[in-house]
């Protein structure tokens, strides 16, 4: 740890940035972008690896009053083209060749000048950021967050994590995901020292916890599993950690307990969505592994009947719905927004129940989306690619429990000729993000369907899915 740590706000590899330097660089980039024609209300795509310049680009756009459209660097050409079309992005910022092939891009490797300038505060009702969340019927939808909703989410996240200027965090998760962005913006707001990692490497993460004296660590299921299985985790000094936050996928109690037994560090399960980033969190110092926690400050929860939509009493199982000022402004395309709300309540699509003390349990998902490493994957998107193969006449995609990734993708296919499963898996991998590749392919004589044509994924899962312990 360098002697200048007290003045530093952000660290990346061998470089540290003070908050004053971050502000001056963001201002310099904002002036450059404004001079280049970007105006308030414009939507600008950012497709970037995890690096300080990503942070500067987001802050620069907000200074101008433009909205940041965050595109996963894992996306392939067709996914990026769809993201640009649905959001109407006018320019790009990043370091990815796919984006550069589709619209003019300001490359993040180009130098940024320091500058001083005062910009007006952005309109609270204006879009601040658009992130992507898959639906069940096609390509990903853009989730619109205004400055007001994002500011509320940041305040809620800071409060439930108890973040202060004495905390130290590191981020190795993709910045295009709502959790990555939320962590970055909240750390800057709270004055928390932050280290960014270009990519996730468990050994590096553990070394930085020890050497940087990290106090709050973030984990999703694959990271938790890697921690539990690390052969030498005991040799790292992790005593600076207040807790490890577990989000994006349900807690596997055995994995969490193994990490705690080996390191002495406890967990803080939390629950959120791209559409409403902070829904619930366990209380610090009183966390439990059988619940995602209690409603975050400013969030109201209810559970409704799947049949009638009526509000259910405590301990009755139904769909979890939420209200909060941090909820999204809507989707793009706009017509997708109506189904996301019921009488002003955001419909999570998750099934669960709340006890008399306010503890929330999640038991299942009403939607057919598959959640892989915290990312929502639409079965229809994968099916559309599989059906491009000349030998595939029908198919349906479903998820099965997976300890490492939360869920694994399985493709059930009907073919007119023998097609090796690696060929079909590679076909998806060539067109879509890597995390959308099927783990397995099963060959079936037909896809069970309702008279309406809707695939009975539940039947496929029952007949061809693997149990959770395999």
**pLDDT averaged per 10 residues, the chain (length 470):** 58 95 98 97 96 98 98 93 96 96 96 97 97 71 97 98 97 88 96 94 96 94 85 96 87 87 96 96 95 97 92 94 98 93 94 94 78 83 90 92 90 95 96 94 91 78 71
CATH of 370-464 among 3.40.50.920, 3.30.300.30, 3.40.50.970, 1.10.10.10: 3.30.300.30
CA–CA separation, 159 and 123 (whole Å): 24
37 sits in the region (left: phi over 0; alpha: psi -120 to 50; else beta) called: left
- Reported as a single tens digit per residue, the pLDDT across 212-229 is 999 999 988 778 888 988
- Reported as a single tens digit per residue, the pLDDT across 8-52 is 899 999 999 999 999 999 999 999 999 999 999 999 999 999 999
Domain positions in the chain are 267-365, 370-464
Q: Please, are residues 214 and 197 in contact by the beta-carbon 8 Å criterion? A: no
- Reported as a single tens digit per residue, the pLDDT across 111-162 is 999 999 999 999 999 999 999 986 545 678 999 999 999 999 999 999 999 9
pLDDT at site 138 = 64
Question: Other CB atoms closer than 10 Å to residue 418's CB: what's the count?
Answer: 7
pTM for this predicted structure: 0.85
What is the number of residues in the chain? 470
CA angle 300, 330, 95 (to 5 degrees): 115
In the chain, % of residues over pLDDT 90? 76
CATH of domain 267-365: 2.30.38.10
- The rounded mean pLDDT for the chain is 92
CA–CA separation, 227 and 206 (whole Å): 9
CA–CA separation, 458 and 465 (whole Å): 9
CA–CA separation, 388 and 5 (whole Å): 54
């Amino acid at each position: 740890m360098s002697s200048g740590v007290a003045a530093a706000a952000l660290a990346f590899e061998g470089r540290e940035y003070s908050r004053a330097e971050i502000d001056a660089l963001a201002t310099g980039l904002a002036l450059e972008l404004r001079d280049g024609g970007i105006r308030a209300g414009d939507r600008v795509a950012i497709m970037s690896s995890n690096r300080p310049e990503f942070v500067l680009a987001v802050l620069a756009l907000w200074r101008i009053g433009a909205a940041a459209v965050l595109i996963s660097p894992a996306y392939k050409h067709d996914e990026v083209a769809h993201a640009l079309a649905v959001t109407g992005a006018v320019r790009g910022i990043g370091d990815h060749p796919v984006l550069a092939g589709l619209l003019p891009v300001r490359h993040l490797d180009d130098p940024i000048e320091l500058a001083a300038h005062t910009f007006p505060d952005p309109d609270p009702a204006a879009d601040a950021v658009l992130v992507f969340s898959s639906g069940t019927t096609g390509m990903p939808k853009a989730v619109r967050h205004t400055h007001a909703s994002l500011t509320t989410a940041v305040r809620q996240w800071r409060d439930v994590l108890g973040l202060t200027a004495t905390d130290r965090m590191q981020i190795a998760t993709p910045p295009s995901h709502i959790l990555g962005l939320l962590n970055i913006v909240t750390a800057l707001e709270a004055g928390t020292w932050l280290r960014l990692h270009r990519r996730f490497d468990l050994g590096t993460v553990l070394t930085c916890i020890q050497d940087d004296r990290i106090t709050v660590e973030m984990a999703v299921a694959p990271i938790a599993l890697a921690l539990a299985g690390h052969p030498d985790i005991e040799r790292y000094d992790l005593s600076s950690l207040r807790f490890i936050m577990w989000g994006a996928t349900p807690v596997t109690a055995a994995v969490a307990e193994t990490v705690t037994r080996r390191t002495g560090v406890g967990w803080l399960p939390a629950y959120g969505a791209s559409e409403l980033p902070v829904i619930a969190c366990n209380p610090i110092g009183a966390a439990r592994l059988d619940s995602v926690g209690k409603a975050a400050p400013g969030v109201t929860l209810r559970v409704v009947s799947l049949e009638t939509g009526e509000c259910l009493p405590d301990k009755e199982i139904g769909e979890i719905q939420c209200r909060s000022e941090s909820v999204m402004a809507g989707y793009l395309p706009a017509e997708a927004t109506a189904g996301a709300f019921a009488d002003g309540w955001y419909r999570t699509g998750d099934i669960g129940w709340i006890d008399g003390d306010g503890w929330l349990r999640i038991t299942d998902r009403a939607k057919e989306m598959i959640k892989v490493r915290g990312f929502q994957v639409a079965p229809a998107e994968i099916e559309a690619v599989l059906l491009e193969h000349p030998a595939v006449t029908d198919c349906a995609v479903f998820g099965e429990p997976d300890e490492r990734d939360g869920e694994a993708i399985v493709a059930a296919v009907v073919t007119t000729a023998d097609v090796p499963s690696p060929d079909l898996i590679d076909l998806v991998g060539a067109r879509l993000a890597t995390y959308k590749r099927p783990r397995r392919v099963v060959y079936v004589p037909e896809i069970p369907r309702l008279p309406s044509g809707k695939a009975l994924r539940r039947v496929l899962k029952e007949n061809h899915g693997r149990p959770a312990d395999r």
